[in-house]
Amino acid sequence: MDGRVKPGHDGFGWLHAMTAHEPMVRFLGTLRTAGVRISVAEGLDAMLAAEMVGYEDRQLLKDALGLTVAKSAEEKALYDVCFDDFFRRDEFKGQALGNSEEGEGEESDGPSEAGESGTALGQMLLGGDGAALAQAMERAANDVGISQIRIFTQVNLYARRIMEQMGLDELEAEIGGMRRMGTPQASQQADQLDAAREGLREQVRDFVQRQLEVYARGETSRLRDEFLRQMRLGTMGPRDKARMRILVRQIARRLATRHARVMRKKRKGQLDTRRTIRKNMPNDGVLFRTFFRFKKIDRPKIVAICDVSGSVAASAEFLLLFLWSLREVLSGVRAFAFSSDLMEVTETLDKQEPEEATKHILRTIGFGSTNYGNSLATFRKNWLGILDRKTTVIILGDARGNRTEPRADIVRELSERSKRLIWLNPEGRPVWGSGDSDMLRYKPYCHLAMVCNSLQHLEEVVSDLLEAERSG
């Protein structure tokens, strides 16, 4: 195939000149970037569908691919936009870039003083070969790595690289040579090539801008999500909180999947060689049946004690949401919240959606004046018995008790009775112990004390907790 647009088709014939599956690999990449979940099997199905229906009929290709990769209404909407942007190839349709209005009726039947264009790009421009220009531009874009474009400031850079890859330097040298000849015919042809070059430059830039939309779709959202992951939890507004709750669920789902997969692998146990050989002796030693030594793996037990006073309420809200989103890999999660006194909130979290439950908890007991000593004494009196050597205690708070009795002795007792005690403090280490902070009194009894004031910190804590339980 020569890459020309076939009559009666919508401009896709030239795609057959490309490597069979290269467009599909890039298209599937753009879909994933935009947020469409595509498994390896679905990607292979999409490639097979494209191979069967071809690229000539746009609507047929769109319908065939849509059936293989878009699985929900939201994904279908993303797919439609991505498909239309990715497979749009109409930059040069019906345009003879090399013909100006004044010179439309003038053609050269053979070599002239100026001579015909000696470069491939010049010949395509003067001949108005839109299909060949489209193919050359696509090939040049692939060569310069257009799929790596991510930000708008790269548009001019990639446009220049594409032009150079198409032969811009040779074309400019040719135009300069024609002008130096000084003849009317040479000057006229130089003007035609100059105008065609500028028209090509504009269309290449438009093409690059569309590629930015294609390949950077979802990049802005990812950058914002990454920013939110590192933002201090206490400083975000309502809109950011709504997005953060979605991120918490996504991260929790990913951690749960990874942890559950490893647990399933570990539960398979090790081959019991002696028992296997003994049981297969009647089979002349042929191992028809295998036996394994199984190790019982207990899911981690968590007791979360959260300060929900005004200074740390946001951190407590997202920690509780995180833990309740991981219920499938955590057993016996008990949650407690306190300001001036402590109460158990496990039942509230069980009966309501985590987002609504945390809001209810904050309305009920949150944003009060903090008293760590009184709250710790309440826990010791009513719930100390729930701790054992399999329990991890997580205390989240800034350790500022408004100069009330800190009761560090109770923290020591909690540490001694549990497997580990982790203290998460939203404040930076330099201010631990300053003013009314009792953090330095509690720290000696903590197996781990760390700064935790962002979603990234929470993710690291929970991930390390699951890793520790997995290896322990």
The string of pLDDT tens digits covering residues 226-279 is 788 888 887 777 777 777 877 887 788 777 777 665 555 555 557 777 777 777
Question: What number of helices (H) and strands (E) belong to the chain?
Answer: 19, 8
Residue that is last in its domain, among 86, 111, 144: 86
Q: Is 337 part of any domain? A: yes
* The total number of structural domains that make up the chain: 3
Residues 201 and 317 grouped into a single domain:
no
Residues 82 and 37 grouped into a single domain:
yes
Instruction: Give yes or no for residue 92 having a pLDDT over 80.
Output: no
Kindly list the distances between the CA atom of residue 91 and the CA atoms of 58, 129, 138, 199, 225, in Å, as whole numbers in the listed order: 16, 12, 11, 11, 34
pLDDT, residue 108, reads: 39
| Max intra-chain CA distance, the chain | 104
8 A C-beta contact, residue 154 and residue 212: yes
Q: Is 229 part of any domain? A: no
Residues 202 and 262 grouped into a single domain:
no
Q: Which of 412, 345, 400, 392 is nearest to 372 (CA)?
A: 400
Mean pLDDT of the chain: 79
Instruction: Give yes or no for residue 443 having a pLDDT over 80.
Output: yes
Instruction: Give yes or no for residue 2 having a pLDDT over 50.
Output: no
Instruction: Give yes or no for residue 124 having a pLDDT over 60.
Output: yes
Instruction: Give yes or no for residue 123 having a pLDDT over 90.
Output: no
| Cβ partners under 8 Å of residue 399, min gap 6 | 372, 406, 423, 425, 432, 437, 438, 439, 441, 442
Average pLDDT over residues 11-31: 61
Q: Is 464 part of any domain? A: yes
8 A C-beta contact, residue 340 and residue 374: yes
Q: Is 6 part of any domain? A: no
| Cβ partners under 8 Å of residue 470, min gap 6 | 259, 262, 263, 266
Instruction: Give the best-scoring range by mean pLDDT among 115-124, 149-158, 263-272, 388-397.
Output: 388-397
pLDDT range class, residue 309, cuts 50, 70, 90: confident
Residues 251 and 318 grouped into a single domain:
yes
Question: What tokens were used for 235?
Answer: 């400083």
Residues 162 and 209 grouped into a single domain:
yes
The Cα–Cα gap between 61 and 79 comes to 12
Instruction: Give yes or no for residue 472 having a pLDDT over 70.
Output: no
pLDDT, residue 237, reads: 73
The Cα–Cα gap between 395 and 438 comes to 14
Residues 319 and 442 grouped into a single domain:
yes
Instruction: Give yes or no for residue 126 having a pLDDT over 50.
Output: yes
pLDDT range class, residue 16, cuts 50, 70, 90: very low
Average pLDDT over residues 449-465: 86
**How does 315-325 read in b/e, with b if 16+ C-beta sit within 10 Å?**
bbbbbbbbbbb
Residues 27 and 158 grouped into a single domain:
no
Q: Is 155 part of any domain? A: yes
pLDDT, residue 404, reads: 92
Q: Is 53 part of any domain? A: yes
Residues 207 and 340 grouped into a single domain:
no
Q: Is 112 part of any domain? A: no
Residues 409 and 460 grouped into a single domain:
yes
Residues 65 and 133 grouped into a single domain:
no
pLDDT, residue 90, reads: 56
Domain that holds residue 334: 244-269+299-471
pLDDT, residue 385, reads: 93
pLDDT, residue 295, reads: 56
DSSP per position, 41-58: HHHHHHHHHHHHH-SS-H
**Which CATH number do you get for residue 464?**
3.40.50.410
pLDDT range class, residue 463, cuts 50, 70, 90: confident
Residues 364 and 438 grouped into a single domain:
yes
Percent of the chain with pLDDT over 90: 19
Instruction: Give yes or no for residue 143 having a pLDDT over 60.
Output: yes
Residue that is last in its domain, among 32, 65, 86: 86
Residues 438 and 351 grouped into a single domain:
yes
Instruction: Give yes or no for residue 7 having a pLDDT over 90.
Output: no
Instruction: Give yes or no for residue 88 having a pLDDT over 90.
Output: no
Instruction: Give yes or no for residue 150 having a pLDDT over 90.
Output: no
Average pLDDT over residues 338-349: 89
pLDDT, residue 99, reads: 45
Average pLDDT over residues 437-461: 91
Instruction: Give yes or no for residue 384 having a pLDDT over 70.
Output: yes
Q: Is 225 part of any domain? A: no
